[in-house]
Amino acid sequence: MIRPSSNSGLTLRLALLAVGTFVLGMDGFVLAGLLPDVARDLDVSVAQAGQLTTAFAVTYAIGSPVIATATGRLDRRIVLGAGMAVFLVGMAAQAAGPNYPVVLAGRILSGLGAAGFQANAFAVAGVLSPPERRARSLAVVGAGASLATVAGVPFGVLVGQQVGWRAAMWVIAGLAAVAALLTALLPAVRLPSATLGERVRLLATPAMLFLLLGTSLQLVPQFMVISYVAPILGASGSSVVVALVVFGVAFFAGNRVVGALADRWGGLRVIAAGLSVTALSTVGLWAARPHLAAAMVALVALGLVGSWQVTPQQTRVFAAGGPAATVALGLNGSMIYVGSGVGAALGGGVVASAGVSWVPLVAAAVAVLALMFTLVTAPERQPALASA
């Protein structure tokens, strides 16, 4: 087990990991903005093109805990470098793919590589950090992904309009090559070994199951709104890009402080505060809908606490995971994708059944439900549950 790094060395190593999470985040946001172009080029419907995103998410959700279990005894540098290399190959396959099946296969390969990198990046950050700085360290690594929410959409729109979606994929492949090489600068990190049976028993405890369910539930309100932000705001074209960039900047700003808050207050309190603000901001978004400027204010509030469920929850899962921390973080990453998918699906169901104006209100109700679930099931408040 490696000892926690000094402050100066730790900052550099976290930055190296953040480069990787930035690359993975860019991929998701760039593709989302280019789906119509991808559909036209591959001669498929936009709905079929959207399945490329679904294929990535499903592969990540399934692959992350499996890879964490299968590679438990390996040096994390090897796993991180290999994961980013597989992601790179997948991106190249998408950029050069002559037809939809090849691009789909590349998307699946990219999801597999992302699954190998992402959870391990956060696990390494947790291992390298002293306990009193762990949340801040996880937030630094997560800052790469949050920065991608700011840069991904405008980059995708700009590159897509000027030189096409394939060029954007090649750019991300190039960034992935850099991120893969940077993993060699990390120290050797081996996590505590545990048998598969020990890992399964630990992850099957009520405390861990409730934590993982909470991860998904906490993220549903945010993704309900962001997935349908254009019709909610009544905006189109450049206004949607501006709205997403505003949300991304606020998200990044909130991520800058969430680690310190979680280290000082504890993850549970920060999550509770974030869900409370989420509920209030989504109600505010519903009330402000007819007025774009006022709605933007509510969107900023939602963005500011957007990461307040992610980093503190990762800290709680890491602590509860013990020797199976990497597997636990892999499952937590899977549950993040589950939460995003459920949020988008639930938002779509509300739009179809009641109309888009109801999406923010239902999101607020889900935020309150998530807050109650998180508080009632918190192992920090129930020692007996934590040790069960």
Cα separations in angstroms, 1 against 76, 124, 330, 343: 12, 11, 19, 38
pLDDT confidence of residue 25: 84
Q: Distance between CA atoms of 94 and 108, rounded to whole angstroms? A: 10
Cα separations in angstroms, 98 against 40, 90, 93, 102, 386: 13, 14, 9, 7, 52
Q: Indicate the CATH number of 194-388 among 3.40.50.300, 3.40.190.10, 3.30.200.190, 1.20.1250.20.
A: 1.20.1250.20
Structure tokens at 158: 């700009």
**Per-residue pLDDT tens for 283-300?**
999 999 878 889 999 999
Q: Which residues of the chain have pLDDT under 50?
A: 1
pLDDT confidence of residue 179: 95
pLDDT confidence of residue 27: 84
**Per-residue pLDDT tens for 300-326?**
999 999 889 988 998 999 888 877 777
> Structural domain boundaries of the chain?
1-191, 194-388
The reply to whether 1-191 and 194-388 are identical in fold is yes
* DSSP at 98: S
CATH class of 1-191: mainly alpha
Cβ atoms of 383 and 261 within 8 Å: the answer is no
- The amino acid sitting at 174 is G
pLDDT confidence of residue 194: 62
Q: What percent of the chain has pLDDT over 70?
A: 91
pLDDT confidence of residue 70: 82
pLDDT confidence of residue 223: 85
Residue 189, SS3 per DSSP? coil
